[in-house]
Amino acid sequence: MVKTGKLRSGAAQKLKRWKKGHSSDSNPQTSRYRQAARSRFFSRPSGKSDLTVDALKLHNDLQAGRLERGGDGASDAMEDAALTERTSGTFLSGLSDCSNLTFRKVQRYWESNSAAHKEICAVLAAVTEVIRSQGGKETETEYFAALMTTLEAVESSESLAAVAYLLNLVMKRVPAPVLIKKFSDTAKAFMDIMSKQASADSVSSLRWVLSCVATLLRKQDLSVWSYPSTLQVYHGLLSFTVHSKPKVRKAAQQGICAVLRGSDCMFSDNAPSHHPAAVTTAKYCIKELEQAGGNKEDTTTLHVLGLLKELIATFPLSSVKLCCETLLRVMTLSHVLVTAGAMQAFHKLFTRKPSSSTLSAELNAQIITALYDYMPSENDLQPLLGWLAVMEKAHVHLSSLQSSLSLGHLPRLFSTTMSCLLSPHAQVVSAASQTLKILINECMAPHMAEIGPVLPSTSTGNGLYICKMFRVVEEGLSYRFHASWPFVLQIIGCFYRAAGKQAHPIMTKSLQSLCDLRATPRFPFCGELDLAIGRAVESMGPRVVLSAVPLLITGTDDDLEFPRSWLIPVIRDHVKNTQLAYFTSYFLPLASTLKQKAAELEQSGQKLIAKVYQTLQLQIWTMLPGFCMKPIDLVSSFKGIARSLGMAITEHPDLRMCIYQALRTLIYKSCETEEQKAEVGRFAKNFLPILFNMYTQQPTPGESDPSRLAVLDTVRAYLTITDQNTVSSFLQKALERLVSPDSSEFTRLTVMDLVVTMAAFVDEGTMRQTYEIIKPHLASKDSSIQKKAYRILEEMCGGEKDACNKFVLASVEQLKLTLLDSLKSASSPAKRPRLKCLIHIVKQLNAEHKDFITTLLPEVIICTKEVSVGARKNAYSLLVEIGNAYVRFCGNSQDALNEYLGHVYIGLTGSVTMITCTVLALTRLIYQYKDTLDVSSLEQLLHNVCLLLSCRTREIVKASLAFIKVVIFVLDVKVLASHVTVIMEGIGNMKDDMRRHCRTKLKNIFTKLVRKFGFELVKSMLPAEHHKVLANIHKAEARSKRRKLLSKDEEESDNEEDTPKAKTESIEDILAETDSDESEDEKPKKGQKKPMKQKAQAWLKEGVSDDPLNFLDPKASQRVLATNPDLKKTAKVDHGFKVTSDGRLIIKEDDDDHDDKDDEEIDDILKEAGVKTKKRQKRKMDDDMGDDMDIEPHMKYRAGGIGIHRPLGRREESGVDFKAKKGKGDIKKKGKCDPYAYIPLKKAQLNRRKKAKLQGQFKGMVRGVKKGAQLGKKMQKMKRKA
């Protein structure tokens, strides 16, 4: 017997006890497998099943109806076998194999536990069986007829809902002629059900019937809508839009919207501008709004406003006018939610951008004027944001209808919106500034060209409105707007950019005000102000800006503070599309004066001031590239500055980079017409010799000229617009200098660089002459000369002009001989341009030159192991180009590639280097032509490469492993499965030294095979020495899967719980918070019940300075606030990191992201195939790089504590930061406390047993301080004596 006794103390609390009365329960609490089994349809029901009984009842009803199925015998047989397994299976076969795609959604419901879903499945199965029994094809029309018959026969609300749901699905696919013909019968059936179910508790059937009615009405012709019966059906649907049940109301409202906006008759050729039922819908909405009367307890007003919001843009003009008048009347009730709904309706009306037949410009303007009476208070945050959004959309739409009328209304809105910048709410200020910028860009900027010049004396027309708007914006620079100056400056900058070109005369004063503000000490918004001035420079041009705010730099009697010097970088960054002549007439003389002034000051010994003037002069020259960006007077003004630029290049080395950049900008960005190109190209004979001299000028030994590459870029740019004869003459002179015996080595190299640049821009005859001159240099022993000679040949062969193509075709035989003869003498640096030449030549060869291509192959294959990355890349590209040439010659891709690969296979019989290079070449070709290659040849190649794995040469084995890796990626899994054994045998035959050296590549291959074929299969094929690494790969894969799942779950939970809602700009979101503010004063005290949240609360703002509130004042409605004025919200700072429950930040490193593994794998394959170049990196000692290829997990343990857990590293002594680097003692550091001996307060210091130890520490500390003080005194005495 078991010994009985009491439990140990405290054990009773740890035991899990049964609840009272459940001590006999032994089943688990969760029974998901039982639930799954219980939900199966093909098993005997465990209890009373509504599914089977109702299904049989429905089936019997169907047999008694019009769609009879067989005879009574079938019905009796079904009835008798009501609860048999066979009956259940036969019944649901109509659902499981239903061939109509309309019911795909229903087929997901058969495993659902919902009674409604089961009912839907039962009805569908029964109807399908009936259609099949009568030989139907299961079309939508047949289902529609059967379901309509069923709809009249069913009695229970559950079956009625199921039939209505299926009808809702199928009616969307029934052909329109069927619904048109059966409209009367179908509508009558639906209307009967709607009248019966209107007051029922269950709404599921009603909502689907409403959806069916909407679909039926959408399919009707235009002529049907003239019948009263059609309108009667429509009104029946319309009456449910204010139903008390939300689902019914939503279905009716969606149906009405679908009818008015998506009816088939609205998309026909003779479609009317508005639906025939639009007018009656508008009248219904107006009647319901007037009857509700804005009663706070009656929600009908809100329901109608929700419907009107979606439909108002579909009404005709007369109905829109009546609706708008009703909306404005409803808004006078000062009910917060009603006002918000009306504003949403107006916003939708303007956002949809209706035509003038719906919303005319006059009505739009009248609505704008009326809405000013409903402007909320500046302290009412959300309603004010909504009002601004509505007014913005209203003016933008009015501008699209009639620009002049829109401009007339803009000044008042500008004035109102600018007053919003005084609001204490940052959201209001930001929204107001954004509204003004949108109005400027969309309502004013597109029409400025039509308005023409705007002068201060303009007193009529649209110019007057522009003046008024700018004066309102300019007032924002006054001090009372100082808190919103950043936004004001943005608005002014936007105004400058939109209207500065035409309206600059009225903006002079504002420019002066901005410069005065910029001169204010410690002005905090210099960045915004500079941007505003920059916008003025863009639109008005620097001439207008500097006439309003002079630079105040003359070079004589200047204020050495140079208060306006900040204008120079602003002009430099923003000047474009301006007059180049202004730089010539104003800035060039100023720069010359400043240069002369700097030289005079330098001579007089005032070097600092001279440096300032020199810097100003350089800054002025930096503006030149901006002036060269699409100047408006290029043709007439370039000749005036060309001579100065040439002289500056020659005489002033510090200005060369600016001038080179300006010339390139002028050529690439500004020379758009032939006239402009001819004008700038006319000075090529002047600029190019200067640039040539700059490049061929040898720098002083020990110094480097940073502008040499810029010179070549500028020469290349100028050659694009230079006459071909001029370039040919320059090239002739360069070649003469190249072959001259007097030229030095540096001169030859620089001249060859210039020839490389010019080679592609000359005629065919000059190219041949150039080729004859450089041909001896292709065999030069000097690698630099040889490389540049090949570069010249590359430019001539690969140029885009017709002369280059003609040269290659005419000289192809000579080029072949030259390139083959110079093969042995080609140096390694010259390989890259040589291979590039061959690429260009091979592209233009035909089948006659196949022998030449075959002769090239060994050289190209060997170059795949060149040191130069560029050479290797070009070698792989040439291999592919040769393959394309074979395909081009042969026609049949597979035969051509087999022939091509046959020539490449020969390399496998050569030396070690040749075998390695051949395997690399084959790898690239396999990857390139993976979709074209014959599988049998690829399999044979794989077998041969696997034999190379037993080789003792590391390079061959590494290349073979790279080939296998690419083959695993390329081959289909089914094809690869038959060759896994061969791959494994080859890997198993590798020498131990090779296995250790190539462990990383092997591990990569094993990982790919495990992912494709599974761990057990790969393990069974490999020898025992590989099992350890396989086990580690298996663990790593499982670990990465777990991490992915965990991270995915965490992200989902974080997104659900912690992620804030994205802020949108819709009017619904703006106005949704009007009733969400709750006063902190009304929080329930402890012990009290929490009061119910009252929706649509409103606050009344009292008069200022105890003045009584006048309710007769027209602006009294602005005192009714939807936001508690006493409530202050604390804005949460979004720092971009997730936060734990205790407030700590969660900061994830980039390395923790495992989403990039697939991209890395593809990159790895591309590198092995030679598509991407491999970068040589330092070898990293990763945790998976051990000799045994074990995967060591990162140590999660961190030392800390006492005993064996103590940190092994020495603790840093306190006060080390204050120790002097030189000498003894401590030093004071800025921003830190004084270097006293601070003693940390610890709880352990209160321990009486450690008292003696602590006293010893203090004594030693005091002793050290005294010693230091004595040393300090001695040192001070020594200093005094000295």
pLDDT top residue among 327 and 72: 327
Percentage of the chain modeled with pLDDT above 70: 77
Long-range CB pairs of 634-637, under 8 A, 24+ apart, other chains included: 634/580, 634/666, 634/670, 634/671, 634/676, 634/679, 634/680, 635/675, 635/676, 635/679, 636/581, 637/579, 637/580, 637/581, 637/584
Q: Is the pLDDT of residue 1184 over 50?
A: no
> CA 636, CA 633: separation in Å to the nearest integer?
6
Q: Is the pLDDT of residue 47 over 60?
A: no
Tell me the pLDDT tens digit for each residue of 550-590: 998 988 888 888 889 999 999 999 999 999 999 999 999 99
Ranges 116-125, 363-372, 1134-1143: which has the least confidence: 1134-1143
Residue 1106 gets the label, from left (phi > 0), alpha (psi -120 to 50) or beta, of left
Residue 1189 gets the label, from left (phi > 0), alpha (psi -120 to 50) or beta, of left
- pLDDT at position 1183: 39
Q: Is the pLDDT of residue 1103 over 70?
A: no
- pLDDT at position 19: 61
Q: Is the pLDDT of residue 132 over 70?
A: yes
Cα dihedral across residues 867, 872, 873, 874: positive or negative: positive
Question: Quick check: 1199 and 1208 in contact, CB under 8 A?
Answer: yes
Q: What Cα–Cα distance (Å) separates residue 894 from each residue in 877, 900, 1146?
A: 20, 10, 57
> CA 827, CA 817: separation in Å to the nearest integer?
18
> CA 456, CA 474: separation in Å to the nearest integer?
14
Give the three-class secondary structure for 314: helix
Question: Quick check: 187 and 216 in contact, CB under 8 A?
Answer: yes
- pLDDT at position 41: 39
Question: Quick check: 671 and 630 in contact, CB under 8 A?
Answer: no
Tell me the pLDDT tens digit for each residue of 916-969: 999 999 988 888 888 888 888 888 888 888 888 888 888 888 898 988 888 888
pLDDT class for 719, splitting at 50, 70, 90?
very high
Tell me the pLDDT tens digit for each residue of 806-861: 888 888 888 888 888 888 888 888 889 989 999 988 888 888 888 888 888 888 89
- pLDDT at position 386: 92
Question: Quick check: 204 and 170 in contact, CB under 8 A?
Answer: no
Question: Quick check: 1129 and 1150 in contact, CB under 8 A?
Answer: no
What's the whole-number mean pLDDT along residues 1102-1121? 58
pLDDT top residue among 45 and 516: 516
> CA 1202, CA 1207: separation in Å to the nearest integer?
8
Tell me the pLDDT tens digit for each residue of 755-808: 999 999 999 899 999 999 988 888 888 889 989 999 999 899 888 888 888 888
**Nearest CA-CA partner of 796 in 754, 846, 750, 757:** 757
Give the three-class secondary structure for 1167: helix
Tell me how long the chain is.
Answer: 1282
What's the whole-number mean pLDDT along residues 1124-1142? 53
Long-range CB pairs of 859-864, under 8 A, 24+ apart, other chains included: 859/823, 860/835, 860/921, 861/904, 861/907, 861/914, 861/917, 861/918, 861/921, 862/913, 862/914, 862/917, 863/831, 863/835, 863/917, 864/917, 864/920, 864/921, 864/924, 864/1170
- pLDDT at position 1270: 84
Q: Is the pLDDT of residue 1280 over 70?
A: yes
Cα dihedral across residues 64, 67, 72, 78: positive or negative: negative
**Residue 1082, beta-bridge partner list:** none
Question: Quick check: 1147 and 1137 in contact, CB under 8 A?
Answer: yes
Q: Is the pLDDT of residue 48 over 80?
A: no
Mean pLDDT of the chain: 80
- pLDDT at position 5: 46
pLDDT top residue among 240 and 1212: 240
pLDDT class for 1132, splitting at 50, 70, 90?
very low
Q: Is the pLDDT of residue 1239 over 50?
A: yes
- pLDDT at position 944: 86
> CA 735, CA 758: separation in Å to the nearest integer?
11
List the structure tokens of 858: 């060994």
Give the three-class secondary structure for 77: helix
> CA 166, CA 215: separation in Å to the nearest integer?
13
At residue 406, what is the residue type? Answer: S
Percentage of the chain modeled with pLDDT above 90: 35
**Residue 1226, beta-bridge partner list:** 1219
**Nearest CA-CA partner of 452 in 437, 441, 440, 466:** 466
Contacts of 206 (CB under 8 A, 6+ apart): 193, 194, 197, 198, 200, 240, 248, 251
> CA 876, CA 882: separation in Å to the nearest integer?
10
**Nearest CA-CA partner of 395 in 436, 448, 433:** 436
List the structure tokens of 164: 């209505």
pLDDT class for 62, splitting at 50, 70, 90?
low
Q: Are strands 1120-1121 and 1138-1139 parallel, antiparallel or unpaired?
A: unpaired
Most confident of 446-450, 989-993, 1063-1067: 446-450
Contacts of 998 (CB under 8 A, 6+ apart): 954, 957, 958, 961, 990
Q: Is the pLDDT of residue 1047 over 70?
A: yes
- pLDDT at position 1273: 83
Contacts of 483 (CB under 8 A, 6+ apart): none
What's the whole-number mean pLDDT along residues 707-711? 88
Ranges 194-208, 526-540, 720-734, 1057-1071: which has the least confidence: 1057-1071
Residue 70 DSSP label = S
What's the whole-number mean pLDDT along residues 360-366? 94
Q: What Cα–Cα distance (Å) separates residue 1097 from each residue in 338, 878, 1203?
A: 12, 78, 65
- pLDDT at position 1164: 67
Give the three-class secondary structure for 1121: strand
DSSP strands (E only) in 395-465: none
Q: What is the pTM assigned to this prediction? A: 0.70
Tell me the pLDDT tens digit for each residue of 657-701: 999 999 999 999 999 899 999 999 999 999 999 999 999 888 877
